[in-house]
Amino acid sequence: MPTLYHHPMSAASRFVRLVLHEYEMETELIEERPWEQRRDFLALNPAATLPVYVDESMHAICGAGVIVEFIDETCGAFKHDQRLLPDDALQRAEVRRLMDWFLVKLEQDVTRYLVRERAYKLLMPKASGGGAPDSKALRAARANIRQHMRYLDWLAANRNWLAGETLSYADFAAAGALSALDYLGEIKWAETAHAKNWYQRIKSRPCMRPLLGDRVSRLSPVPHYADLDF
């Protein structure tokens, strides 16, 4: 059986998990703490980053974007109108642009700071960077999130799904990041009604159920995290 090395608070890991569940691909999950720099994990991915997908032939595929491209190439064509990467080249380009937005730009501006300071540091020993949250990093990330939520709100208001008419990797890349931030209670949904409506649609899909059941040691989610009507 294929294996996914992940962490419950990793937005990129959440994205890949959503895609795997949406495609009903059975996968064993192994929780990894990349800051521990385990020798066996470094042998799979010397960069020590998540996620890492190991297929049935024991080939390690590293990085969310690379993993979902591999999934599309190996089984996407069999999904026909449920395929998450469109056939049209321009539509594919837009999906990839938004994947990059949520996996790279949002990560750099917001997600990595809030997740690291509020979640990872609780689990990390002091020698690996654990300890009290950096208030400056939290303030900067919380200032940046409003711009990102306004953009997400615009996309949701003007398109059926984020990249166009059909559900795509772009929606799941966004949902992976937003669900991690929502676990922490960092999103003010009342300010972005269209984004909230889009997230309710995603949240209602069966593929979201495992993520909504996630719990992180020493950090409980906000009360509405698993509620479909929030």
Whether 106 has a pLDDT exceeding 90, the answer reads: yes
Fold topology of 89-205:
Glutathione S-transferase Yfyf (Class Pi); Chain A, domain 2 (1.20.1050)
Whether 49 has a pLDDT exceeding 90, the answer reads: yes
The DSSP secondary-structure symbol of 6 reads E
d(CA 24, CA 34): 27
Stretch 88-113: mean pLDDT: 98
d(CA 67, CA 60): 9
Architecture of the domain spanning 3-82: 3-Layer(aba) Sandwich (3.40)
Domain regions of the chain by residue span: 3-82, 89-205
44 pLDDT tier (thresholds 50, 70, 90): very high
Taking each helix axis as running N to C, give the angle between helix 64-75 and helix 89-100, from 0 to 180 degrees, rounded to the nearest 10.
150
What is the structure's pLDDT at 51?
98
More confident residue, 77 or 162: 162
What is the structure's pLDDT at 77?
83
Polymer length in residues for the chain: 230
Whether 127 has a pLDDT exceeding 90, the answer reads: no
What is the structure's pLDDT at 212?
97
d(CA 178, CA 66): 21
Whether 143 has a pLDDT exceeding 90, the answer reads: yes
Beta carbons within 10 angstroms of residue 92's beta carbon: 16
The two structure tokens encoding residue 55: 């297929």
The DSSP secondary-structure symbol of 88 reads S
Task: Using alpha carbons, select from 20, 122, 110, 144 the residue that is nearest to residue 71.
Answer: 20
Which residues fall within 8 angstroms of residue 176, CB to CB, at 6 or more apart?
11, 12, 13, 14, 15, 16, 17, 18, 64, 102, 103
Whether 128 has a pLDDT exceeding 90, the answer reads: no
d(CA 134, CA 188): 21
What is the structure's pLDDT at 63?
98
pTM reported for the whole predicted model: 0.96
